[in-house]
Amino acid sequence: MNFGFTEEQGFLREAVRKFVDERCPMAEVRRLMKTRDAHSPELWRALAEQGTLGLLIPDEYGGAGLSWVDFVVVLEETGRTLLPSPLVSTALATMALLEAGSPAQRSRWLPRFADGRAVGTLALLEASDRQGAAGIALAAVRDGEVDVLRGEKRFVADAGAADVFVVAYRVGTALRLALVPKEAPGLRVELVPTLDETRRSGTLVLDGVRVGPEDRLVAADPEATLELLLDCGCVAVTAEGLGAAEGALAVTVRYANDRVQFGSPIGRYQGVKHRLADAWVDTESIKSLLYYAAWTIDERRAELPRYASLAKAYLADAFTRIGVDCVQLHGAVGYTIEYDIQLYLKRSKWLRPMFGDGDYHRDRLAALTLG
Amino acid sequence: MNFGFTEEQGFLREAVRKFVDERCPMAEVRRLMKTRDAHSPELWRALAEQGTLGLLIPDEYGGAGLSWVDFVVVLEETGRTLLPSPLVSTALATMALLEAGSPAQRSRWLPRFADGRAVGTLALLEASDRQGAAGIALAAVRDGEVDVLRGEKRFVADAGAADVFVVAYRVGTALRLALVPKEAPGLRVELVPTLDETRRSGTLVLDGVRVGPEDRLVAADPEATLELLLDCGCVAVTAEGLGAAEGALAVTVRYANDRVQFGSPIGRYQGVKHRLADAWVDTESIKSLLYYAAWTIDERRAELPRYASLAKAYLADAFTRIGVDCVQLHGAVGYTIEYDIQLYLKRSKWLRPMFGDGDYHRDRLAALTLG
Amino acid sequence: MDFNFSPEEQAFREEIRGFLDANLPDPVPDEDPAFLQAWNRKLREKRWVGFSWPREWGGGGGDLIRQFILKEEMSARRAPALGLDFMGLTWVGPAVIKHGTKEQKAEHLEAILDGRSHWCTGYSEPDVGSDLASLQCRAVRDGDEYVIHGQKIWTTSAHFASHIFLLVRTDPTVSKYKGITCLLVPMSTPGITVTPIENLSGKASFNQVFFDGARTPVANRLGAEGEGWKVVMGALANERSGISESTEMQQHLDDIRALAKRAVRNGRPALQDDRVRRRLSEMEIRVEAMRLTGLRHLTDQINGKPSGSETAINKLQRGILEFEMSELSLELLGSEALHQGEIQHDALGWHGTVIGGGSPNIQRNIIAERILGLPKD
Amino acid sequence: MDFNFSPEEQAFREEIRGFLDANLPDPVPDEDPAFLQAWNRKLREKRWVGFSWPREWGGGGGDLIRQFILKEEMSARRAPALGLDFMGLTWVGPAVIKHGTKEQKAEHLEAILDGRSHWCTGYSEPDVGSDLASLQCRAVRDGDEYVIHGQKIWTTSAHFASHIFLLVRTDPTVSKYKGITCLLVPMSTPGITVTPIENLSGKASFNQVFFDGARTPVANRLGAEGEGWKVVMGALANERSGISESTEMQQHLDDIRALAKRAVRNGRPALQDDRVRRRLSEMEIRVEAMRLTGLRHLTDQINGKPSGSETAINKLQRGILEFEMSELSLELLGSEALHQGEIQHDALGWHGTVIGGGSPNIQRNIIAERILGLPKD
C-alpha cells in the first residue's frame, strides 16, 4: 500500500510544467484559442518529442508504455494553464485501439499518435442529455459486409483537428465501434462555436459513410468497451479540471495578496480567505479520488466505474463553485476579458457536462450502491 | 395597496413583547420546560387577561375579533423568547370551530378559549411521513348515529394540556372532523419526550371513543377544512419560527459583540458577520412572505395554499441554517446547556417537520405551478 | 396591511392592459430601433415615460403605486423598457429636476423623455473600488469653465453615450465628501477619450473614460460646487426601489421554467426529476420574497420613510437567484452547454449584474455593520 | 502508487477476520462493561491494544499499514474500540514512551493498555479559546513538589478520569511557548475539583477542573521543565492520522443508508426520491475522499513526512458530512424528528464533535494563512 508518486512521476510533472510554462504561456493560449481548431501542430510535435503523446502507447508502437497515473500527472499540469490541445481526445482514441483494435489498426494509428502525426477522437454522443450506450441510436444499413452510416454524431471534441474518429453505431440492436478516418467519403465535420474558447467541439455528419470489416473494432463486448472509454474520459477530464481548479485558485490567491482595498490586501478578510480555503480542501479531496480512479484503470478495472463517478461528480460541482467564487473574488476585473480568471470560469462550465455532470454521476453511484 | 402594520398592531407588538419579557423571561422558560405539560395555567390566564387568547375569536364569544395579521404579530413575539404555551394549538382549534363548528359547539368552546379556561388542539396526523388528508386512515365503526373510534392520533401538539381535540377520521372513504373532549370515555393521552423541551407532543389513544352527531363538525367540505387548518398551522409555526430565528440572531449578535478572541470581538471577522448578515436577509425575506400569507387567511383564501407553502418552505430551511450557524458561532459554549442558543437550535429542529418540511412544500409548490 | 388596489388603481391597470392589447406586437420586436422609437412616442403620448416626474417637465405626475402597477403590467407582457435613455430616466433626470437650473431642465429633461439623449454616469475610478468618495478625477475652475483631468472606469454605455453625469474633485483640501462636484458634460467635448473594456462574453458593455484637459462651461455644473456628494446620494436612493429587480427575476424564472418543460435529462423529462422541481420551487420562493419585500419598501417610500440599507436584501437575493438560475439552466442544457448560445451567454453574464450592484460581500458588511451593529473590520 | 497489500499484510487481514468471526458476538454488547473488559484482555493477548507501541512496553510493535488494516477491519465489523483508555492510548502513552522516565513508563503504560487507568487532558482554559499557548494555569516549585493553581475547561471525561495530562505555566517571565510544563497528575490529588458541564443533550461529557493548591511530586513531570509545549505538539501530531475519522463517517453513512431504506416520504419510499438518492451519493463521495486522503497522509507518515496542516482537509470534510447526515436523518424521520431518540440525539451531538476538533473557521484560517500564504487577519 503506497499512495504516493514515484520520483519519476515527480520529474514528469516538473517537465510538463516547465514545457507548458515555456511553450504555451497564457498569451499563447489566447492566440491559439482564436485559431480554427485551437490546435497548434508545432506545439503538438513538441509534445511528441517530449514523449508526452506516446505516454500510454506501448513500446512496440513507439510509445513509452506508461500508466494512467502518469497520464493524470500530465493532464493536471496541462489543465493548470488551460493548454489547448487534443491530448485527451487522442488518448481516448488510443484506449479504444488498445482495448479493441486489430493488430493492423494498432499498427496503422498508434505510431502516428505517438509521434504526433495524427490526432484521434471519440464520436459517440447524439442526444444532448445522454452519455452512455442507451443514447446511441445511429443505425447502420448493411451492404454485404459493409455498414453504411447516415446520421450525425454530436459533441465531438477536437472534431476539426482529428484525423480519425471512433464512431459508435448500431446494427439492429447490437452496438458496434469503428474507426472512420477523416478522408472517408461522405464524412463531413461542422464546427460549433464553443463556450470555452480554448476547446473545440463539432458535429460529425455521416452521409453514406461505408465501414468495412477492416474498419470495425473487434471488441468482444462493445458495451463494456464503450463504458470503459467513457470512464477513462471521466478520469481524463477530471484530471484536466483539477489542474484548472488549482490554476484558478493560484491566480486568485495571487490577486488576493496583491489587491489592496480599504488599506489591506483583500486576502486578509475572512470573506475571501475562507472561500479560498474551501477551494483548496476541494482540490485536495479531488486529488485523492482522482489518483485512485486513475490507478483502477491500470490495475483494478472492476472498481473503475464507481471511482470514475466519485471523482467526476466531486469535480463537476466543486469546480463550478471554485470558478464562480474566483471570478467574484476578483470583483469587477474578474468580468473583463483582460483577466485570465474568466477563462477558468469557462473551463469549469465546459467540464461539467463532459462525460456526465454531477447529478448524472450521483444517480449512477446511487444505482450502484442502493440499487 | 399598503404593506405596513397599523399603529394598533405596533402597540400590540410592544405589549406582547413587554408581557413576554416580564412574565416569561428565559429563566421561566427553563422552569416551565421541566414541568409535565410545559404549560403554566397562571401564565395562560394572564395571556387571557391581555386579550391575547381571544384575539381571533369574535366579539360575541368574548374575543376581540381581530385578524391573522394581528395574530402573526403575537406569535412572532412569543416565538422570539420561545414562550412555552398552547397558543398555536388553541388558535387552530378556534379556526376549526369558526369554519365548521355548530352554534352550540362554538358557544361551548370559544368563550372558554377566549378567557383561558380551556385549551384546544388538533389531532390529525397518523403516519410520520404524512401531512394531508391522504394520511388519515382512522376508520370509524358506525353504531346508529354514533361513530366509534378505535386507533391512534400521533404528533398531537400540547396533548397533555388540551381540554378538547379536533379529530379527523373516516367513515368509509368520507373524511369527518369531530370535537372530542379530554373526558370522553375511551380516550387516553400518552406523552412522548420531545426534542424541543419547550414543546409537548403526545399520542391520542382512542379505545372505543363514541362521537355523536352533536360532536361532529359541520364542514361542507371536510377535506377543504382540513387543508385550511393545515395551512393556518403553516402560517402559525412560520410566525413562531420567524420570531425564534430573530431571537437566535439577536442572541448571537450580542455574543459576537461581547466575545473577544485574538484581541477583537469575534463579530469583527467576516467569517462571523457575513453569516449573521445572511441570517438577517433570510428573516426579512420570510417576513415578507409570512405577512402576506397571514393576510390571505383574512382576505384572499384562494391564495393561501401557495403562500403558506412559500413561507413555510423558506422558514424550514433558513431557520435550520440559522440555528446551526448561531450555535457554531458561539464556539464551545454553544454546545453547553447553560447558554440559551441551544434552545433555539432545538426549536429549529422542531419547526422543520411541523405542518410539512421544506421538500414537502417545494413539492406542493411544484405541483401547483408545474403540474 | 391591505393588498387590494382601489377601483381607480384597478381601472389604471385595465387601461394599461387595453393599451398593450391594442399596441404591443407579439412577438415583441425588441431589437428593432424603428419599433422602439415608435413605441416610445406612444408611451410619451400616455405620459408613461418618466411616469413619476412632474407634469410641468413632461412627466406623468404619477404616484408610486401607479408606477408600480405600470411596471408590473409592462414587465408581465415583456414590453420594452419604459423609455429609451435608461440612465437619464433613472439617475440624471430626477437629479436635474431637484437640483438643476431652468436652462438645464429645458436642455435635458425632454431629451431624456424622447430618448434623444443617452446618458452614462462617471463615478468609479481605478483603485478606488468600493470607496467611491475617494475619487481623484480633478476639475479646476478657469474663468467660466472647468478643466477636467483624470479617469473613470466601469462606465456603462460610455462608448455610445451622448452625455456623462460626472463626479469630479474640485477641492482636494477639504474632507473627501465636501470636495466633490457634479457636472453634466457632453461626450463630444474635446479632451474626452473612451476606451471600451471587453467583458468575458467579448462584448463592450463598459468603458474607461479619460479626461485630458476637457473643458466644460460652469453652466453645466449641477448644484453648487462641493455639493456633488449630496446630489449623487439622492440619485442613488432613487435607483433603489427593488421592484424592477423582482420583475426581472420573475421573467428569468418564466424562462427557466419553459426550458425545464422542454428539457430531458438522461432520457427522462426534466420535470419528472424531484430535484429540478424543487430547485424551481426554491426560485419561486425567492422571487416572490423579493416581490413582496419590494412592496414593503414601496410602502415605506409612500409613507415618507424611504428604505436605506434594507435594499441590500434584494441585492443579495438577486445574487443567489442569478447564480442558481444560471447553473440550473446550463445543467438542463446537458451537452448543449458546451456550445455558445443565448442561455449560455446569459449564464456567464450574471457576474456583471451581481458585481455591478456592489459585490455580495460588500452588501453583507453593510448589513452586519449598519443594521446589526457589529464592529467594523 | 500501489494500493495492493503484500501477501503478509493480506494474511494479517485474514487473521483479524478469523479472530472476529471466532470472538465477536453479534450483536456487539458494547454497553456491557464485563464484555468490554474481557474483549480487551483478548485483544491484549494478540498485542492489538497499543498496536504501534514498542513490544518492550507491552505494545504490538506494529507498523502503520498493519495498524490501518487493523482499524479498518475492526471498524467494518463495529467491534469496540481498540483499548479502553482512549486518551491514554492516543495521547498520553506515546508521549510517555517518548519523554517519560523509566518509573513513569512502568507506572502508566501497562495500566493504559489494560484499561486500568482513564486519562483526561487538561489543555483548554476559559478565555484562552483557540490560542492554547496563552494558558494561565500556574505550577510553582516547592521543594520536591509542584503546587498548582488555576482552571481548565472543556476537559472531556474528567468527571470519571483517574489521571490528568496537564499543561501548566511554570515560568511566566519567558516567551509563552517556553514557560509551559507537562505534568502527569492523579485526579485523586487533594485540591482538584471537577465540575461537569452539561451539553445540550443534558449529558456531562466535559468539565471544568479547578486546581486550588494541588500538590504533585516533581517526579510526575513529563520531560524537562519548560518543555511542555514540545511534548504536547508531538502528542497532537499523533492524534492526526485522519484514518479513524473516515471509518467513523463510513459507519454513519451505513446507518443513514439503512434509515433511508426503511423511510417513507409523503407516502413514497425515500429511496425513490431523486434528491435523497443524490444526497446519499454526495455523502459517499466525501466519505470516500476522506478515506483516500487519510491513506495519502498515512503514506506521508510512513515516508517520514508526517502531514501538518493537511489534516485540516478531513476535519472540514467531517464538519460538512456531520451536518449533512444529521439534517438528512432528521428529514427522513418526518414527524418522528419531534421526539427524542437515538437518531435525534446524534443529530444534535455533532456540534460537539465539530467544535472539539477546532471550529471550521479556525481550520480555514490555518489553511488560508499557512498553506495558501494569505495575510493574517
List pLDDT tens digits, range A123-158: 999 999 999 999 999 999 999 999 999 999 999 999
Q: Does pLDDT of C237 surpass 80?
A: no
Nearest to C71 by CA among C308, C311, C282, C251: C251
Is C353 inside a domain boundary? yes
pLDDT in tens, C77-131: 999 989 999 999 988 999 999 999 999 999 999 999 999 999 999 999 987 766 7
Per-residue pLDDT for B37 more than 80?
Answer: yes
Is A130 within 8 Å of C266 when comparing Cβ atoms? yes
User: C103 lies in a domain?
Assistant: no
Q: Is residue B173 less than 8 Å (CB to CB) from chain A?
A: no
| Identity of the residue numbered C191 | G
Instruction: Grade residue C245 by pLDDT with cuts at 50, 70 and 90.
Output: confident
Average pLDDT, whole number, for chain C?
92
pLDDT at D30: 86
Q: How confident is the model at residue C238 (pLDDT cuts 50, 70, 90)?
A: low
- Name the neighbours of A, counting chains with at least 3 Cβ pairs within 8 A: B, C, D
pLDDT in tens, A272-283: 999 999 999 999
- Spot the catalytic one: D239, D282, D288, D310: D239
Q: Could you give the C-alpha distances from A124 to A106, A151, A154, A301, C244, in angstroms and in order?
A: 20, 12, 8, 21, 45
Instruction: Please give the grid coordinates belonging to residue C258.
Output: 419553459
Whether B281 sits inside 8 A of C313 (CB atoms) is yes
| Domain limits, chain B | 7-114, 120-211, 222-370
pLDDT digits (tens, 9 = 90+) for B332-345: 899 999 999 999 99
The CATH architecture of the domain made up of A222-370 is Up-down Bundle (1.20)
Average pLDDT of span A323-350: 95
Q: Answer positive or negative: Cα dihedral of C272, C273, C278, C280.
A: negative
Mutate to test the interface with D, among A281, A289, A307, A310 (most CBs of D within 10 A): A281
C-alpha–C-alpha distance, residues A29 and A19, integer Å: 13
> pLDDT digits over A90-119, tens only?
999 999 999 999 999 999 999 999 999 999
Give me the pLDDT at residue D11, please.
98
Q: Are residues C245 and C328 in the same domain?
A: yes
The answer to whether B296 and B317 have CB atoms below 8 angstroms apart is: no
Mean pLDDT of chain A: 97
On whether both C365 and C263 belong to a single domain, the answer is yes
Query: Considering C167, C196, C226, which residue would you say is the last residue of a domain?
Result: C226
Q: What is the per-residue pLDDT for C129?
A: 67
Question: Which residues, at least 6 apart from A2, have a Cβ–Cβ distance to it below 8 Å?
Answer: D1, D2, D3, D299, D302
Q: Is the pLDDT of residue B160 over 60?
A: yes
SS (H, E, C) chain A: CECCCCHHHHHHHHHHHHHHHHHCCHHHHHHHCCCCCCCCHHHHHHHHHCCCCCCCCCHHHCCCCCCHHHHHHHHHHHHHCCCCCCHHHHHHHHHHHHHHCCHHHHHHHHHHHHCCCCCEEEECCCCCCCCCHHHCCCEEEEECCEEEEEEEEEEEECCCCCCEEEEEEEECCEEEEEEEECCCCCEEEEEECECCCCCCEEEEEEEEEEECHHHECCCCCHHHHHHHHHHHHHHHHHHHHHHHHHHHHHHHHHHHHHCEECCEEHHHCHHHHHHHHHHHHHHHHHHHHHHHHHHHHHHCHHHHHHHHHHHHHHHHHHHHHHHHHHHHHCHHHHHECCCCHHHHHHHHHHHCCCCCCHHHHHHHHHHHHHC
Task: Return left, alpha or beta for D5; rule: phi > 0 is left, psi -120 to 50 is alpha, else beta.
Answer: beta
Kindly state the average pLDDT of the residues C223-250: 80
Co-location of D205 and D162 in the same domain: yes
Residue carrying C-alpha cell 478578510: A269
Residue D205's pLDDT is what?
81
Set of chain D residues whose Cβ sits within 8 Å of the Cβ of C278: 275
CB D265 within 8 A of CB D332: yes
Say if residue D180 is in the same domain as residue D78. no
* pLDDT in the model for residue D241: 55
Residue of B nearest to C293 (CA): B288
Of C233 and C242, which is predicted with more confidence? C233
Report which residue type is found at B20. Answer: V
**DSSP secondary structure of D114-133:** HT---EEEE---TTTTT-GG
Q: Is C239 a catalytic residue?
A: yes
pLDDT band at C207 (very low <50, low <70, confident <90, very high): very high
**Element holding B339 (H helix, E strand):** none
**Residues 6 or more apart whose Cβ sits within 8 Å of residue A115:** A48, A53, A54, A62
Whether residue C126 has a cis bond before it, omega within 30° of 0: no
Q: Is residue A336 very low, low, confident or very high in pLDDT (cuts 50, 70, 90)? A: very high
Is residue D235 one of the residues assigned to a domain? no
**pLDDT recorded at residue D67:** 92
Average pLDDT of chain B, as a whole number: 97
Amino acid, single-letter form, for residue D50: G
Contacts of D280 in chain C (CB under 8 A): none
Confidence of residue C182 (pLDDT cuts 50, 70, 90): very high
Mutate to test the interface with D, among B33, B128, B199, B346 (most CBs of D within 10 A): B128
Q: Which one of C15, C110, C225, C239 is the catalytic residue? A: C239
Residue C233 lies in a domain: no
What integer pLDDT is reported at residue D312 of this predicted model? 87
CA distance D54 to D38: 23
Residue range A79-83: mean pLDDT, rounded: 98
The confidence score (pLDDT) of residue C204 equals 82
Question: Per-residue pLDDT averaged across B24-42, rounded?
Answer: 97
Residue C335 lies in a domain: yes
Confidence band of C307 (pLDDT split at 50, 70, 90) = low
Residue C239 has pLDDT above 60, yes or no: no
Provide the chain C residues 255-274 that lie in CB contact (below 8 A) with chain D.
Answer: 273-274
Q: What pLDDT, on the 0 to 100 scale, is given for residue D242?
A: 60
Question: Which pLDDT value is given to residue D301?
Answer: 85
More confident residue, C346 or C310: C346
Domain B7-114 superfamily per CATH: Acyl-CoA dehydrogenase/oxidase, N-terminal domain (1.10.540.10)
Identify the CATH class of A120-211: mainly beta
Q: Inspect the interface and report whether the beta carbons of B360 and D351 lie closer than 8 Å.
A: no
Q: What is the dihedral of CA D64, D69, D75, D80, to 10 degrees?
A: -70
Number of domains in chain D: 3
Interface of B with D (CB under 8 A): 125, 127-131, 134-135, 154-155, 192-196, 199, 201, 261-262, 269, 271-272, 320, 324, 327-328, 331-332, 334-338, 342, 345-346, 349-350, 352-354, 357, 359-360, 363
Q: Which residues of C touch B286 (CB under 8 A)?
A: 289
Residues C3, B292: Cα–Cα separation, whole Å: 8
Residues of D in contact with A300 (CB under 8 A): 3
* Boundary (domain end) residue, out of D84, D99, D128: D84
pLDDT given at position D288? 97
Percent of chain A with pLDDT over 90: 97
Smallest CA–CA distance from B8 into chain C, residue = C1
Q: Is B143 helix (H, G, I), strand (E, B) or coil?
A: strand
For B347-371, the pLDDT digits (tens) are 999 999 999 999 999 999 999 999 8
Same domain? D301 vs D364: yes
Q: In this structure, what are the phi and psi dihedrals at residue C91, rounded to the nearest 5 degrees?
A: -110, -55
Contact B336 D200 (CB under 8 A): yes
The number of angstroms, rounded, from the C-alpha of D2 to the middle of its chain's C-alpha atoms is 29
Q: Which residues contact B206 (CB under 8 A, 6 or more apart)?
A: B138, B149, B150, B151, B152, B153, B167, B180, B186, B187
* Residues in chain D, pLDDT under 50: none
Residues 6+ apart with CB under 8 A from A183: none
Q: What percentage of chain B exceeds 90 in pLDDT?
A: 97
**B125: which strand partners?**
none
Q: Which of C226, C250, C278 is the last residue of a domain?
A: C226
Q: Name the grid cell of C246.
A: 423582482
A204: its cell numbers: 460529425
C368/B276 Cβ within 8 A? yes
**Are C46 and C151 within one domain?**
no
The three three-digit cell numbers of residue D170, written as one number: 511554570
Between CA C272 and CA C265 the distance in angstroms is 9
CATH number reported for the structural domain that contains residue C309 in this entry: 1.20.140.10
Rounded Cα gap, residues C102 and C107, in angstroms? 9
Rounded distance between C-alpha atoms, residue A343 and residue A197, angstroms: 8
**3-state SS string for chain C:** CECCCCHHHHHHHHHHHHHHHHHCCCCCCCCCHHHHHHHHHHHHHHCCCCCCCCHHHCCCCCCHHHHHHHHHHHHHCCCCCCCCCHHHHHHHHHHHHHHCCHHHHHHHHHHHHHCCCCEEEECCCCCCCCCHHHCCCEEEEECCEEEEEEEEEEEECHHHCCEEEEEEECCCCCCCCCCEEEEEEECCCCCEEEEEEEECCCCEEEEEEEEEEEEEEHHHEECCCCCHHHHHHHHHHHHCCCHHHHHHHHHHHHHHHHHHHHCEECCEEHHHCHHHHHHHHHHHHHHHHHHHHHHHHHHHHHCCCCCCHHHHHHHHHHHHHHHHHHHHHHHHHHHHHHECCHHHHHHHHHHHHHHHCCCHHHHHHHHHHHHCCCCCC
Among chain B residues, CA nearest to A275? B271
Q: Which domain holds residue D273?
A: 240-371
Q: What is the pLDDT of residue A255?
A: 97
Give the CA dihedral A52, A53, A56, A57, nearest 10 degrees.
-130
What's the pLDDT band for B39 if we cut at 50, 70, 90?
very high
User: What percent of chain C shows pLDDT beyond 90?
Assistant: 77
- Going by pLDDT thresholds of 50, 70 and 90, the confidence category of residue A224 is very high
**CB distance from B274 to chain A under 8 Å?**
yes
What is the pLDDT, as a whole number, of residue A150? 98
Q: Which CATH number do you get for residue C154?
A: 2.40.110.10
Task: Identify the bridge partners of residue D142 per DSSP, sorted by sequence position.
Answer: D145
Strand partners, C185: C164
Give the model's pLDDT for residue B78: 98
Helix (H) or strand (E) holding B34: none
Nearest-neighbour CA in chain A from B263: distance (Å): 16
Distance from CA of D317 to the nearest CA of A (A): 8
Contacts of C245 (CB under 8 A, 6+ apart): C290, C294, C314, C315, C318
